[in-house]
Structure 1
Amino acid sequence: YTVDITLGGQNFTVLLDTGSTDLWINAQGRNVALTNTSSLIATEVYGQGAVQGNIAFAELKVGNYVVPSQAFVNATRIVNMTTTVDGYMGMSFDVSNIFSTVAQAWGNESAQTLGRSFITNLFAQNTSLPNNFDIQLGRTEQMDEDGAGTFIVSGHSAAFGDVSDAPKLPRVVSDRWAVVMDEMRINGEKFSFNQSSVPGVPEGKVAAVMDSGFSLPPLPPAAVDAIYKSVPGAVFSQAAGGYVIPCNSSTILSFVFGGQEFLVHPLDLALPFAVPIVKNGATTNVTVCVATYQYLNLDPTQFAGFDLILGDAFLRNVYASFDYGDFNPMTNTSGTPFIQMVTTVDPYTAMDEFYQDRATVLATLPPTIEPSQFIQYPIATAANSTSSTASQDDAISGALSTDDDADSTHSSSDKTSWIVAFVLLGANLLVGLALLVVTLTMCVRGTKGKSVGSRYVPVRLKEADAHAEHDSEHGVPRYTDEA
């Protein structure tokens, strides 16, 4: 999910990332007008890939807002990162590589002025604005190449104005948009997590990071197992690095926050795509559906502050408002940032939408294969197990320090099938639906309720069926895998 920005007079397309803080740009070959530069070197390390460059400053325009001199990493070494975007724009808190590098070199007071993130700078120079930003990650139909979402600063979409009445989910750690999750439900049944690793999280609940930088949400392995073992015919594929499920099957998955249940659309539980396999000595193309929810494999001594990460395959199902509350690091004003969410999924029509969309997509792909058969055949080609950029930059990648950003949470283990390469790319700040790129429409609000040059494209849903089977206990209909 990307946003268009102007930095130093040049236009760039950047990934909007609520899981990190810093802005980094690949400006090579572009004449970016700098307001200042430095010899300070900052590194940004992600699950797969990293960037390194000096800290520079330039005028930043996002929508109608202008930050006269924004700190960013002017990336000169890019290791194993996607080329589909020009950089990443972090939307988290000022505990980042830029901030810490500036603080170490020039002192904390300088860092609080020069090393701030875009969103912190924006609210600092516009103190009368409500200090929230909202995102709604649009879903396209039939695997369209691109679609639209919404990114709003200092206001709410008219279509989701009720988000201001939603429960406020307070941030539970200082450096992430992590909030308490009450429950995960599978077919209406509560899944029991282990005790949270985050101090202060109540027993039976866990801390979840809301991270638009993760396409494929990583959860504890037992939770992933429980989700996909509830789908008849699902199997774990070592080649795919996750579960593969029958393409016309699904399950009912929901998450509960602040006492409210948020249904995950069945389209967001698996992605179909064609895979070349070797069968009877010949290469043949088949279609498989790979699970979007993946194993969270982290070193608990290195990564703390959350128990799971809910990325795009969850966030596409909500309209989310990220609010800093009274928190203001520049004035030492204490406060608790919070998130508010409302659902964008109609529980009465979601399964019909799933069958309709999936059938349309499968009609354009090779024949499907049962997961139990798929795992018996080798993948025909091995590609992208290790990128040439990564191999050329072994020295720098070995020297890069580990960022404490939530996006740094996947190891980049060597895999041999292109299907795994896709999963790893998707999990590390790429696209939400296969190779889909969805552009977020920028909407800037001077005051709540007043839009300036905005456009909103909601998720398209059919009218609710008043006669649909309904589970009153859990607020959503039970799903089956029968057409």
Structure 2
Amino acid sequence: MKASIPLRRVLKSRISNATISKSSLSDALPSISLFNSREFAYLASINIGGQNFIVSIDTGSSDLWVVSSTCADADCLGVPSYSPSNSMTPTNTIFKLGYLTGNVLGNVAYDTVILGNFQVASQVFGGSYRIFFHSCAYNLLAFVNQTTGISLSSTGNSGILGLSFPQQASISSNLGFNLILNIFSNLDEQSRLFGIRLGRGVNDSALTIGGHDLSLLPNVSQIRMFDVIPKSTKGSVVYDYWKLSLTGLLIIPDSVDFPLSPSKIPGASQPIAVLDTGTTLILGPSKDVQRLWKAVGGARLGQDGNWQVPCNMALVLAFKFGDGGVFAVDPTDLSWSEDTTSDGWCLAGVQANDKVVGGDWLLGDTFMRNVYVEHYGATDTTGPRLGMLNLTDANSSLSAFTNSRGSGGYVIPTRLNLSSSLSDKISGFLTGSGQFVSLIIACVLGFLVGGLVTALVRSSLRALRRKRRKLRYM
């Protein structure tokens, strides 16, 4: 069985009811659509207990939850809420979940869930009376009664569908498994995967479960496979997030390898990148992000503490993973305006955050829009894996960006100031001051001439000693 679920993209602060269209749950191969919001949330249709909802798709969390009809918070009042159904079974278990920004609180229950053409009876979920995040466990879900900082009303979604590992679920696995694991349990091993394609338009995104995205089928052979990095534990291997080794960051058009800081994760030989559709931007260590924008030049820190770049900055970043897979990020994802009346400055697509959980870098939608990612569940012989297909060509994206933003765009310096290493400092000296180069030449010539004079003097002294010895024995 396979389901292709259309995803729609919606703007968080600028959403109307007309921008949300629920996909049919009765199609043979339903497309689970994602909705796009101002901060580019991707939303899908889901049915819980016979009631239709729009939920945000989040690969960075593991629970399924929707707001309850008992939630009186202002954020809950603007979206459809769950009313207890005849198929719902309560658990009397409290559900509590926190995110980078926001948290939810509610109760755990079981109910029938339909996603695409998959139907799971008695799925555990969370309902909130204080907005929580994801709650999925054996047809478990949570009903949220309270929400803080989740901004549901701005995107129009009633909750979140977490697609990460059960290890990170707020709902105990003793009560049941999360929704994606329940779906996988009914598929053969080769079909235990879900793919995510995030577009830049309203209706060009999809969540595909149980097979490949048919729109990308001709290129499936080009998908590069990577092992998911397990959580650092003693004893058994445990997986928490969809993450992989980040082996490099390439700055284009100068084709410079940007030096990354060592990982903060114990035992990690390279930085760890977490793939997360629930986060808008790319987040990295503050030290690295500061050096990145200073090296590129032209960026500034806004009053809100976020990095800003000229809206016409033609820059491509490429991330390298594992054994060398390189995936470029389109310039339009690295500089975007928050409103239609830009002052020439755009929010940078890469921001600093030292609170990334489970890794060093968090690659959100800014990165995910440039790749098609397949998430493979573990089998009897292999651990979970990630399959990635590059959807962005660096050269063509640069050309398209220049054409759309104008020919007078900001030009990246031909030499980037990566002064964090000795080799970079030497390179800067050699390409910088002419006086320094002249000094080097003078030193070299002085060394050569001095060496020649020394050799001649030593030769003359040896000849004189031989002559003296000869006169002594005559």
User: In the aligned structure 2, how far is the partner of 1:243 from the partner of 1:25?
Assistant: 33
**Aligned-residue CA RMSD in angstroms?**
2.6
1:209, 1:41 → 2: CA distance?
A: 28
- Offset, 1:356: 3.7
**1:227, 1:253 within 8 Å by CA — same for their partners in 2?**
no
Offset from partner CA, 1:267-318 (integer Å, 9 cap, x none): 0101113499xxxxxxxx83531112110122xxxx6531111111001000
Letter in 2 for 1:196: S
Q: 1:292 aligns with which of 332, 349, 357?
A: 349
SS at 1:115 equivalent:
coil
8 Å Cα contact 1:50/1:78 also seen in 2: yes
Contact 2:316 2:398 (8 Å CA) reproduced: no
Q: Would you say the 8 A contact 1:231–1:249 is kept in 2?
A: no
CA change 1:48–1:253 in 2 (3 A) is same
Partner residue, 2:378: 325
Following TM superposition, by how much is the alpha carbon of 1:97 offset from its aligned partner in structure 2, in angstroms? 4.3
CA distance in 2, matches of 1:79, 1:32: 23
SS at match of 1:222: helix
Q: Find the residue that maps to 1:75 and give its secondary structure.
A: strand
Distance, in Å, in 2 between the alignment partners of 1:192 and 1:221 is 14
Classify 1:135/1:182 alpha carbon distance in 2 versus 1 (closer, same or farther; 3 Å): same
Tell me the equivalent position of 1:241: 305
Of 118, 122, 134, which residue of structure 2 is paired with 1:69?
A: 122
**Corresponding residue number in structure 1 for 2:314:** 250
**Selected match of 1:122 from 150, 170, 183:** 183
- Helix, strand or coil at the partner of 1:267: helix
Alignment partner of 2:147 out of 68, 74, 78: 78
- Say yes or no: does 1:349 pair with 2:410: no
Question: Which residue number corresponds to residue 200 of structure 2?
Answer: 139
Task: Give the structure 1 partner of residue 105 of structure 2.
Answer: 52
Q: Deviations over 1:427-469 (max 9, x none)?
A: xxxxxxxxxxxxxxxxxxxxxxxxxxxxxxxxxxxxxxxxxxx
Q: Structure 2 matches for 1:16-415, cutoff 5 A?
A: 16-28=57-69, 29-33=81-85, 34-70=87-123, 71-83=140-152, 84=155, 85-100=157-172, 111=174, 114-127=175-188, 130-140=191-201, 146-161=202-217, 162-163=219-220, 165-173=222-230, 174-187=239-252, 188-202=255-269, 205-237=270-302, 239-257=303-321, 258-274=323-339, 286-298=343-355, 305-326=358-379, 333=380, 335-358=382-405
| Paired amino acid for 2:305 | G
What is the CA deviation profile of residues 76-101 of structure 1, one whole-angstrom value per residue up to 9, with x for unaligned ones?
Answer: 1111211221111000111244443x
**Equivalent residues of 2:310, 2:335 under 8 A apart:** no
Who is 1:444 aligned against?
Answer: none
Q: In 1, are the aligned partners of 2:374 and 2:387 still within 8 Å (CA)?
A: yes
1:14 aligns with 2:55: yes
% same residue: 30
The CA distance in 2 between the partners of 1:164 and 1:153, in whole Å, is 18
Residues 131, 323 of structure 1: 8 Å contact kept: yes
- SS state of the match for residue 95, structure 1? helix
Q: How many residues align?
A: 326
Q: Decide whether the 8 Å contact of 1:160 with 1:342 is kept in 2.
A: no
Whether the aligned pair in 2 keeps the contact of 1:3 and 1:13 (CA below 8 Å) is: yes
Shift of 1:171: 1.2
What is aligned with 1:414? none
Shift of 1:206: 1.4
Q: Who wins on radius of gyration, i.e. which is larger?
A: 2
Indicate conservation of the 8 Å contact 1:275/1:288, yes or no: no
Query: How far does residue 352 in structure 1 lie from its aligned partner after superposition?
Result: 2.5
1:44-102 per-residue CA deviation (whole Å, 9 max, x = no partner) reads 101111111010111110100001111111001111211221111000111244443xx
How far apart are 1:209 and its partner, in Å? 0.4
Deviation, structure 1 residue 118: 0.6
Amino acid at match of 2:281: L
- Residue 471 of structure 2: aligned partner: none
TM-score under structure 1 length normalisation: 0.63
Residues 194 and 232 of structure 1: CA distance in aligned 2, closer, same or farther (over 3 Å): closer
Q: TM-score, normalised by structure 2?
A: 0.64
User: Whose RCO is larger (CA < 8 A, sep 6+)?
Assistant: 1
Offset, 1:334: 6.7
Asked if 2 retains the 8 angstrom alpha-carbon contact of 1:271 and 1:290, the reply is yes
Cα pair 1:3 1:14 within 8 Å, conserved: yes
Contact 2:299 2:309 in 1 (8 A): yes
- Offset from partner CA, 1:96-132 (integer Å, 9 cap, x none): 44443xx5xxxxxxx2xx4211100111133466100
Letter in 2 for 1:291: A
- CA–CA distance in structure 1, aligned partners of residues 381 and 240 of structure 2: 14
Q: Is the 8 A contact 1:5 1:63 kept in 2?
A: yes
In the other structure, the counterpart of 1:422 is none
- Give me the whole-angstrom Cα distance separating, in 2, the residues matched to 1:324 and 1:24: 22
**In structure 2, what is the Cα distance between the partners aligned to 1:351 and 1:183?**
20
The separation in 1 between residues aligned to 2:373 and 2:111, in whole angstroms, is 29
CA distance in 2, matches of 1:348, 1:191: 19
The verdict on how the C-alpha distance between 1:73 and 1:180 changes in structure 2, with shifts beyond 3 A counting, is same
Q: Is the helix fraction higher in 1 or 2?
A: 2
Amino acid corresponding to residue 94 of structure 1 in structure 2: P
Output aligned runs, 1:452-463, within 5 Å: none
SS of equivalent residue, structure 2 residue 191: coil
Query: Residue 402 of structure 1 aligns with which residue?
Result: none
